[in-house]
Structures are given as structure tokens and as C-alpha cells.
Amino acid sequence: MRTISLYVEKNTPVHRLEPVTKLWYAFTSVILTFLFPSMWMGLLFLLISLIIAVLARVLKNMVGFINAALVVSTTMLIIQGMFYQGNATLIFTLGKLSFYKEGFLHATVLIIRVINMIVAFGMLILTTRPSDMVSNLVQKGLSPKLGYILSSVLQIIPQMLSTASTIIDAQRSRGLETEGSLMQKLRAFFALIGPLVLSSLVEARERAIAIEMRGFGVSRKPTFVKIIPETMLDKSIKLIMKSTLIFAIAWRVISWITI
């Protein structure tokens, strides 16, 4: 059974961190940008996430994700700039369409949040093997069944992309036209769906047989082939993340109460 993921093999301090440590950072960076809806808070964590991605040497692997987010963000910027309910300060008018400062700023905050989320979790996925992440979470107390579900979710997209690429290459070798007009592309798309679904079902059955043979679901406490160590750096980072998160939540709750 193949194991396919977006993991990028590197030897960096970020790669060597415990997966749960990186997960704590990703969650904290995202949650804080929602607790404090400020552009500067979003920019701060986006800058930190980008620095971590540079240290891990995976920033270029995120370019595709960021570009996709920017395409959606452009639409968000236009819609919020014109139709945000708090619009008051006019920036410019194009025909009957008016673009406002308040909508632009609101959309900018949302875009920064989205890109920060992509970079933070992209760093996690690109620097962590799915098997290591799931194993680490199960070692920390996560149910093995939930761990298997998480592992499947992390691998399903790269697995299907790899399978689709193989099927397309096979169809091209048999003379199927996959490029050209819109109708040719549609025919190629529908020709791809059937084999892709059947292949996914076969792989799911093979995976089910494989985990049954390994005693998946037994009531005994599982053992682990690989024990992921928790270093002092991991403990320090997690302590900082937990403390920051608790302080931020408490501060936000107090702010809401005193308003």
C-alpha cells in the first residue's frame, strides 16, 4: 500500500520538532487572529509563519496554495469593498459601482487571516509525515480510530491526485484526447471519474484488510514502532503557546464582559 503525502523531506530544526508542537503553533496562530480581529495581529502571525516556513525551507512549496488563496481573496476584496455593511468612506467610483475604505480594510483583515491559516497549517503538513503526526497524537491519548480517520484525511487528496495522474497517463497512451476544446476536456473528465472512483474503492478495501491483519481495533493498549521524543524546546514552545492562548481568551472574555 502506498503512502503519499505533501511532506517535504528536509533536515531542519522545524522538521525535527514534535508534530504536536507544530500543531499547537498552527492552532494558536489561527485562533488568536480571530480573537483579536486586528490587521496587525494577523500580520504579526503571518510574518512569524513565513519566517518558520523559510527556516523549514518549504516556502516555495506553499506558493501554489498561496496563489489559489489570492485568487479567492481578490473576489473577496471586490465584494467587501463594494457591499460591506459598514461602508462609509468612498475611495473611488467606477460607473455605478462604488468602492469603500471600510470594506477594503475588512477584506484585508480576512485575507490576512486566510493566508496565515494556509501558511501555518501548510508548514505543519509540509514538515510532518502524516504517520508521525497520527502516531504522536495517539501517543498523547488520541483514540487510534480517530487517528486512522485523521491519517486518511491527510492522505486522501495527494493519493487521489497521484491516482488521477496515473489514470490520465494511461488514457493518453491509449489515444484519449485530454487537451483541446471544452467538449474534449469534458469527455476526458468523465472518462477519468469512473476509474478514479473504482480505484479509490479498491484502495479503501486494501487498507481495511491491511489494518485488520495488524489487529486494528483491539482493546489492548497499542505499542508503537517509532516513539517521537519530546525535547525541552518542544515543551517550551507548547508552554508558550498554551499560556498565550489562555491569556488571550481570558483577556477577550474580560473585554466582552466590561463592554
Over the chain (259 residues), what is each successive 10-residue block's mean pLDDT? 68 91 93 86 90 91 85 85 83 82 87 90 89 83 75 71 79 72 73 79 76 68 75 93 91 82
Provide the pLDDT for residue 20: 92
* Claim to verify: residue 53 and residue 154 sit in the same structural domain: no
Provide the pLDDT for residue 72: 82
* Claim to verify: residue 33 and residue 147 sit in the same structural domain: no
Closest CA to 127 of 41, 11, 243, 259: 11
Provide the pLDDT for residue 216: 66
DSSP 82-140: HH-TT--SEEEEETTEEEEHHHHHHHHHHHHHHHHHHHHHHHHHHTS-HHHHHHHHHHT
In degrees and rounded to multiples of 5, residue 99 shows phi and psi of -115, 130
Contacts of 189 (CB under 8 A, 6+ apart): none
Contact 115, 73 (CB under 8 A): yes
Contact 87, 100 (CB under 8 A): yes
* Claim to verify: residue 152 and residue 85 sit in the same structural domain: no
* Claim to verify: residue 208 and residue 170 sit in the same structural domain: yes
* Claim to verify: residue 122 and residue 78 sit in the same structural domain: yes
Contact 126, 55 (CB under 8 A): no
* Claim to verify: residue 155 and residue 111 sit in the same structural domain: no
Closest CA to 38 of 108, 109, 99: 109
* Claim to verify: residue 211 and residue 141 sit in the same structural domain: yes
Provide the pLDDT for residue 1: 42
C-alpha torsion sign, points 125, 131, 134, 136: negative
**Residue carrying the nine cell digits 494558536:** 28
**Residue carrying the nine cell digits 495527494:** 158
* Claim to verify: residue 84 and residue 195 sit in the same structural domain: no
- Total-model pTM: 0.74
Contact 17, 130 (CB under 8 A): no
In degrees and rounded to multiples of 5, residue 141 shows phi and psi of 120, 0
Contact 134, 151 (CB under 8 A): yes
* Claim to verify: residue 90 and residue 137 sit in the same structural domain: no
Contact 234, 22 (CB under 8 A): no
* Claim to verify: residue 38 and residue 141 sit in the same structural domain: no
Q: How far apart are CA 81 and CA 247, in angstroms?
A: 33
Domain count, the chain: 2
**Tell me, what amino acid is at 90?**
L
E runs forming strands in the chain:
90-94, 97-100
* Claim to verify: residue 104 and residue 52 sit in the same structural domain: yes
Contact 112, 66 (CB under 8 A): no
Cβ-count burial 143-175 (b if 16+ within 10 Å, e if not): ebeebbebbeebbeebbbeebbeebbeebeeee
Q: How far apart are CA 27 and CA 72, in angstroms?
A: 22
* Claim to verify: residue 13 and residue 91 sit in the same structural domain: yes
Provide the pLDDT for residue 227: 79
What residues are paired with 174 via a beta bridge? none
Query: Range of 122's domain?
Result: 1-128+229-259
